[in-house]
Structure 1
Amino acid sequence: MTTTPTPLLSATGLHVTFPGRRGAPTARAVDGVDLDIGEGEIVALVGESGCGKTTLARTLLGLLPPTTGAITFGGAPLGYQSAALKAYRKRVQLVLQDPSGSLNPRHTVYDAVAEGLRIHRYKGDEREAVAEALSRAGLRPPERFFLRYPHELSGGQRQRVVIAGALVLKPELIVADEPVASLDASVRGEILALLLSLRDELGLSALVVTHDLGLAWNIADRVAVMYLGRIVETGPVEQVLMSPQHPYTQALLSVLPESGAEPVVLAGEPPDPSRIPGGCRFHARCQILASGEAERSGVAAKCRTEALPILAGGDTTQVACHWAAATPAAAESEKAL
């Protein structure tokens, strides 16, 4: 029996709540999440706006302390003292979706990339470190970009500068929040190829936060689909996207042009995180329940009344759905595992 390697980052039982205003109920933005990221692994965290994925990413970065739950990195618990967080943020870096907003227009490219070195009081050759980071990010020769300002660069070049700013501290993990959302289609592929090459060359791990399942297919080893504060389906990207078990995942995939499926239009808006429904949290919008398929499978009552457990954070295919658990396809998937 092989021993499962310790994940680089592991979150267990994470809950993040925000108090409501003027007596309103507490919002459960992250409502029970287990998630592991292995060394050299790219995990895509996928879901529509408002599902809690950005709050989860901020919590994993140490920017928000969890209300309950724990995060470990390299097998050690994450501490929230200032010195511990500073050391952690050297090893885990953030790449934001809008390079125009995250780059100071008054700073040169050199200063933007060197900022992290100065914060962490880097003792080596600053110029050499900045040049290496820019080169790794695909801006070559790097010296050509030192004295340029963000407005003098293309959108793709600005995103590469942001990536270089993360790479300069030689992190082990990057968290990329919608890393290509603001870029033209012609540039998106170049940035995704860059992230993949960084994984292959440096052994870099990444959590890619996105609403785009097509992006997840192109870059991720594993995907975690999030709905209303909780991961509802997870597993290797090929299994989840080729044979989605959860109705929510099926609906997200149906709108991709290459899916060939009839687009599924979900009823209503995502529920308020301060009023999470009982039973399956997706049941009020579920196309399987609405069509009568859940009733025919004998699980409609469960869908409306019986809550589902938190999925484990490992790399096996898992789904939080009463209907999927009752269907032959799901049983075959479990048997294959």
Structure 2
Amino acid sequence: MTTTAATPGTPASAAPPLLSAQDLHVAFPGRRGAPRARAVDGVDLDIRPGEIVALVGESGCGKTTLARALLGLVPPTGGRVTFAGGPLAYSSRALKAYRRRVQLVLQDPSGSLNPRHTVYDAVAEGLRIHDYGGDERAAVGQALARAGLRPPERFFLRYPHELSGGQRQRVVIAGALVLEPELIVADEPVASLDASVRGEILALLLRLRTELGLSALVVTHDLGLAWNIADRVAVMYLGRIVETGAVEQVLTAPRHPYTQALLSVLPEAPGDPVVLTGEPPDPSRVPSGCRFHARCQVLASGEAARAGVAEDCRTRDLGILSGAGGAQVACHWARARASAPAEKTSAPTEREAEPRE
């Protein structure tokens, strides 16, 4: 894999979290008396000042619901969210103040922008909602310039249909930046863009972190994006984080079979891709034991049985991983291997990737 414009720096691991989820749960009522769907089923996650965390996983694993809960758009059914050391309150006034400091960047700029509003109005909307008392024109121009649209005055009176896809995404980012937030949550920020533009937007996010000290949670199914932009990665499956750690550590030496399967399908991955059987379980009927065991290639191959953990995989829950920055994995087999490093197994070798530039 190759980086975009620059390699992200590493924030001080000792810094207290800016945003934190603690034992977070979000469940939705089932239809006609069906069990509640546990979209987020116990998550601890910390994001520190100046840190970029990538939240990765397949569609339906709960990534977007977790992001919405962190933004206060979905109230949790259990656990709590804290920001800058204080619990998130859900009154209208508290959420309005919170959203000035934490902004959302959506994946589809065409759907995010009102086609009847000019670029100026789109970016100024946040200032007007929050009763900005300064020079609105200067603030809009500064936000557009920071987002890479220069000279900004040239874009003030344009409409979204007059812009390219990359320019529209920069307008969305400018709309988030205009309030000078401390953290942005970017939900698949480059998924709808051409490959030629993706690198530019990722380089922009890295530059904003360097220049403004901005923190970010980047929600994505693209492990290549996580490699290029993140300091730390959290892999999510069926409502829970199953592996987390520094991006180089997780993506070059994945320990959880699910992470290994995700990485195996990348074009540059060595060996044959791992094809998972079946569909992810219904979140209203989360299986006992490891929630991945029904699709796990290690359990199916007999490796877990040879390591003596097959029954644990099927029956014993692994609990919630800590939100701290150290490497962690929710896998009986991976933990058994770690506790017996001298033993040789016939397990698949850990994926080797080229060094991060």
TM class by smaller structure: over 0.9
| TM score, norm. by length of structure 1 | 0.97
Q: State the Cα distance separating 1:258 from its structure 2 match.
A: 1.4
- 2:303 counterpart letter in structure 1: E
Give unmatched runs, 5+ long, in structure 1: none
1:122 corresponding residue in structure 2: 132
- 2:68 counterpart letter in structure 1: R
Q: State the Cα distance separating 1:3 from its structure 2 match.
A: 9.2
Question: Distance in 1 between the 2:64 and 2:253 partners?
Answer: 26
Question: Distance in 2 between the 1:158 and 1:70 partners?
Answer: 34
- Partner of 1:223: helix, strand, or coil? strand
2:271 pairs with one of 261, 278, 301:
261
1:308 corresponding residue in structure 2: 318
| TM score, norm. by length of structure 2 | 0.91
Give unmatched runs, 5+ long, in structure 2: 1-11, 343-349, 351-357
- 1:15 counterpart letter in structure 2: H
- 1:17 counterpart letter in structure 2: A
Question: Distance in 2 between the 1:3 and 1:281 partners?
Answer: 30
Q: State the Cα distance separating 1:262 from its structure 2 match.
A: 1.2
Q: Is it true that 1:179 corresponds to 2:189 in the alignment?
A: yes
1:285 pairs with one of 295, 299, 311:
295
Q: State the Cα distance separating 1:331 from its structure 2 match.
A: 5.5
- Partner of 2:291: helix, strand, or coil? coil
Question: Distance in 1 between the 2:280 and 2:288 partners?
Answer: 14
Distance 1:87 1:260, change over 3 A: same
Q: Is it true that 1:326 corresponds to 2:336 in the alignment?
A: yes
Which structure 2 residues correspond to residues 79-90 of structure 1 after superposition, within 5 A? 79-90=89-100
Whether the aligned pair in 2 keeps the contact of 1:325 and 1:331 (CA below 8 Å) is no
- 1:263-283 Cα shifts (integer Å, max 9, x gaps): 100001111000000000000
Question: Distance in 2 between the 1:261 and 1:169 partners?
Answer: 47
2:116 corresponding residue in structure 1: 106
Moved >2 Å (runs of 4+): 2-5, 328-333
Q: Is it true that 1:157 corresponds to 2:194 in the alignment?
A: no
Whether the aligned pair in 1 keeps the contact of 2:13 and 2:325 (CA below 8 Å) is no
Question: Distance in 2 between the 1:178 and 1:243 partners?
Answer: 24
Q: State the Cα distance separating 1:260 from its structure 2 match.
A: 2.1
CA RMSD of aligned residues (A): 1.4
Q: State the Cα distance separating 1:309 from its structure 2 match.
A: 1.2
2:203 corresponding residue in structure 1: 193
Distance 1:291 1:107, change over 3 A: same
Q: Report how many residues are paired.
A: 332
Distance 1:3 1:131, change over 3 A: closer
- Partner of 2:189: helix, strand, or coil? coil
Question: Distance in 2 between the 1:3 and 1:72 partners?
Answer: 18
- 1:147-195 Cα shifts (integer Å, max 9, x gaps): 0000000000000000000000000000000000000000000000000
Question: Distance in 1 between the 2:341 and 2:146 partners?
Answer: 45
1:30 corresponding residue in structure 2: 40
